[in-house]
Amino acid sequence: MRKGAFRIAFAYLLISLLWIMFSDRLLFYFEGVLTPGQYLWLSLGKGSLFVTVTAIALYALIRSESSKLKESEKQYRSMYESNPNPMWIYEPLTLRFISVNDAAIAVYGYSAEEFRQRTILDIRPPEDQESVVSSAEGLGNKFNQSGTWRHIKKNGQLIYVNITSHKIWFNKKPHVMVMVRDMTERVEFEQTLEEVNQALLEEKHKLSETQLLSRVAGWEFYPRENRLIWSDEVYRIAGLDRDDDREAFDIYVQHIFPEDRPLMINALEELINSGKQLDVTHRINALDGTTRYIRQLARLESSGGQELKVTGSLQDITELKQLEQERNRYLYSFEHTLNSITDCFFELDSQMTIIRINETFRSIVKTDRSRIVGTSIFEIFPKNENKFYQVYKKALEERVIVRHEDYSVILQRWLRMAAYPTDEGVAVYFSDITEDRLKDERLKEAVERYELVAQATRDVVYDLDIVQNRLIYNTSLTHLVKIPNEEISYELEWWRSLIHPDDMEEVVSSQERISRAGLTNWECEYRLNCGKGNYKYVMDQGYFVYNTEKQPVRLIGAVRDIDALKRSTQENKRLAGIIKQVNNMVLITDDLRRVQWVNNAFVELTGYMLEEVRNKTAADFLTGPDHPGFETIIRRQEAREAFAMDTIIYTKKGTPIWISTQLTPTYDEDNVFHGYIIVCQDITYRKEKEEEINRQNRLLREVAWISSHEIRRPVATMLGLINLLDMAEDDNEQEEIFTKLHECAQEMDGMVHEIHRRIEAEKALQIERDL
């Protein structure tokens, strides 16, 4: 809303500044042109126009922001009611529940009315109620993470929950909205892990105390004399007999476990021969029958010239070994536990170095254990891409348990993480919750889609319980069936009573065929009485659900009103039949001039079937060596003109045909261009007759020309010669004139024969065309 107010203020400021800048400059140009009165009226009109324009703009912006606010409130309400986690709203002064969502009712077992009669203290253990009141009083104005608390369900079950809350205005009063996540299993698991960690920590302290209290004794051995000298402490540590008269070396060797003697003797010989320091742990049998673990350390020295001496010390590490074995057993148990859990685990020291992992973590990062342990966590999860770094850091620095859920860009998964401080650093557990997130998203999307479809469609969605003979409809039933609500029944017999009697047998028999065959999908068209005897065509599509005995128990389906479509289809079939039977060729093209449909007259005249020409332009198959006019047709089609013209097309056999074409563009109800309807009439016979008349006219013009010009010339010559004949004085002159007359007569006769030849040739050509 703050952004909306800023936008409105900014828009008003911008319009005002632009108006002042440009309107005053405009008035400046009229200052010397208009009279003071006109100038005053123009200034008043400018101000009035500004007020009107800004009022309209402010009204439009405020209305737009109000619409967005209402839509946001609607979505917020839907998120509250359909949230899979329990949510409620309570009054901060009385702590009484005001509103709860369906998830809270399902989890806690109270009805909505029972919730409203209680306070948030009624679902808390008595010992927590004082802390609850203190926490409610200390809520901030922003998002509050209250941590993990204990709640009590209606049946008395105690559960652990994680609570988040924030203050809201509800019914014009301050309230608090709370969202609860069930953490019972996780808390119990964490408690178990904390007990294991505590046990390991105690054993570690015991091991440290044992090391402080460890006993050590020294000895000397002279190899040449095979003489062993030890301190009195050796008797107590090794549990040997002080009164034994044998050589000390033989006594000690005799008490070493037979399996360990070669190890000790070989190490001693190697020390004497090569000077390699001796460090051996072996077992001995004490006088009291107990087995003790002794660690021997020795080095080679010289004593008094060339004599060799071995100086050593022994330490009773029996308790240490026992503790080590016990620790190994615990560590093995701990490692086995870690590798058995499905959560990923890794432990960091104070320098963010990985010191321990489980098998699940190793498999998710797909790297050998040896390459993981001892490396920095940032080599696997770089700090700049690691959203969970702050989780490790807070647990390590503040020594508190930190939990967080977020999307890991590196692993490309949703993770739920918990970090626990340890002596070495921090132990981190995380689990992949991507599938849960996706399920929640898919469920939310499915619910939203169903709600949107239910609002947008007029289809009647129904659920028939075949066993109980019970029907459930959605609200669209009243749109299809114009029957008062009180007359609507929820039995199958009532619905079937609305079906047209002539269609009843097909509906029942088709359902029985599907159910007997064990199929699921069923559909049927029939007529339905939609009120006052008015029957409509409907399409009923259903899905059968079967029990374990393969018997149908439910039919879920949707009924769609197809009356207008059915009657439109019937009318279209009738019109299509008429178009198919007309003698004129009809083509229908799309917006790219490609043929989509032709009638029978087109097929009969051109020889092209619809399958041959579909998605081709007419120029692709109707043109030939002589195709005048097609460029004009294409140009005018691209301009989407309605026009008519005559042109030549060629049949599949290459025969030219003259057609008279009428091209009409088609548009849908949104005035979107769809293509052309082209109606063609065969005018070949007319064109041939026109050509014949043109040829005859040309022949007549030629005959007329010959008659009026060519024949006139010899005639004029003959008339001149006749006049000369009257004036001739001798026979030679007359003979010459007669010769000239004879030549003119032959020329005239040739012209008459040429006229006759051309007429006969035209007659022969006409007879040939007629044949």
CB atoms within 10 A of CB 686: 13
The two beta strands, 425-432 and 460-465, are unpaired
Question: Looking at residue 743, what is its pLDDT?
Answer: 77
Give yes or no for residue 539 having a pLDDT over 80: yes
Exposed, middle or buried, 349 (CB in 10 Å: 0-12/13-18/19+)?
A: middle
pLDDT bucket at 505, cuts 50 / 70 / 90: very high
Give yes or no for residue 569 having a pLDDT over 80: no
Closest CA relative to residue 343, chosen from 419, 421, 438, 417: 417
- Most confident segment among 181-190, 204-213, 392-401, 480-489: 392-401
pLDDT tens digits, one per residue of 186-227: 888 788 878 877 877 776 555 444 444 456 777 888 888 888
pLDDT tens digits, one per residue of 281-300: 888 887 777 888 888 888 88
Taking the C-alpha atoms of residue 680 and residue 603, their distance in angstroms, rounded to an integer, is: 12
pLDDT tens digits, one per residue of 223-257: 888 888 877 677 777 777 767 777 778 878 888 88
Beta carbons of 62 and 89 less than 8 angstroms apart: no
SS3 (DSSP) at 636: helix
Question: Looking at residue 62, what is its pLDDT?
Answer: 72
Give yes or no for residue 72 having a pLDDT over 70: no
Give yes or no for residue 26 having a pLDDT over 60: yes
Q: What is the mean pLDDT of residues 617-622?
A: 82
Question: Looking at residue 207, what is its pLDDT?
Answer: 42
Q: What is the mean pLDDT of residues 117-130?
A: 90
Give yes or no for residue 727 having a pLDDT over 50: yes
113 vs 36: which has the higher pLDDT? 113
- Which residues contact residue 675 at a Cβ distance below 8 angstroms, ignoring those fewer than 6 apart? 588, 589, 590, 591, 593, 596, 665, 666
Residue given tokens 């401080």 in the structure block: 421
pLDDT tens digits, one per residue of 658-689: 888 888 898 887 888 889 988 888 888 777 77
SS3 (DSSP) at 681: strand
Question: Looking at residue 32, what is its pLDDT?
Answer: 63
Structure tokens at 37: 């009165």
Give yes or no for residue 326 having a pLDDT over 50: yes
Taking the C-alpha atoms of residue 15 and residue 741, their distance in angstroms, rounded to an integer, is: 105
651 vs 204: which has the higher pLDDT? 651
pLDDT tens digits, one per residue of 343-379: 788 888 888 898 888 888 887 778 888 888 888 888 8
Question: Looking at residue 508, what is its pLDDT?
Answer: 92
202 vs 446: which has the higher pLDDT? 202
- Which residues contact residue 83 at a Cβ distance below 8 angstroms, ignoring those fewer than 6 apart? 101, 103, 179
Taking the C-alpha atoms of residue 355 and residue 346, their distance in angstroms, rounded to an integer, is: 8
Beta carbons of 414 and 434 less than 8 angstroms apart: yes
SS3 (DSSP) at 403: strand
Question: Looking at residue 306, what is its pLDDT?
Answer: 60
Q: Which long-range contacts (CB under 8 A, 24 or more apart) does 726-732 make?
A: none
Give yes or no for residue 152 having a pLDDT over 80: yes
Strand ranges (E), 651-743: 656-667, 673-682
Question: Looking at residue 211, what is its pLDDT?
Answer: 40
Q: What is the mean pLDDT of residues 641-668?
A: 86
Least confident residue range of 325-339, 514-528, 660-674: 325-339
pLDDT tens digits, one per residue of 754-771: 776 776 776 666 666 555
Mean pLDDT score of the chain:
79
Question: Looking at residue 208, what is its pLDDT?
Answer: 41
- Which residues contact residue 257 at a Cβ distance below 8 angstroms, ignoring those fewer than 6 apart? 282, 283, 284, 285, 291
Taking the C-alpha atoms of residue 748 and residue 743, their distance in angstroms, rounded to an integer, is: 9
The kind and range of the H/E element at 39 are helix 36-82
Beta carbons of 569 and 590 less than 8 angstroms apart: no
pLDDT bucket at 476, cuts 50 / 70 / 90: low
Taking phi over 0 as left and psi of -120 to 50 as alpha, with beta for the rest, 428 belongs to beta
User: Which amino acid does the sequence have at 48?
Assistant: S
Share of the chain above pLDDT 90, in %: 6
Give yes or no for residue 61 having a pLDDT over 60: yes
pLDDT bucket at 125, cuts 50 / 70 / 90: very high
Give yes or no for residue 42 having a pLDDT over 80: no
Question: Looking at residue 110, what is its pLDDT?
Answer: 92
Closest CA relative to residue 248, chosen from 292, 321, 314: 314
Share of the chain above pLDDT 70, in %: 77
Strand ranges (E), 105-214: 144-152, 158-170, 173-182
Closest CA relative to residue 376, chosen from 395, 354, 360: 354
**What Cα–Cα distance (Å) separates residue 621 from each residue in 326, 580, 612, 613, 633?**
93, 21, 10, 8, 15
Give yes or no for residue 709 having a pLDDT over 70: no
Q: What is the mean pLDDT of residues 49-69?
A: 71
Question: Looking at residue 510, what is its pLDDT?
Answer: 92
Question: Looking at residue 414, what is its pLDDT?
Answer: 86
pLDDT bucket at 627, cuts 50 / 70 / 90: low
Q: What is the largest CA-CA distance in the chain?
A: 200
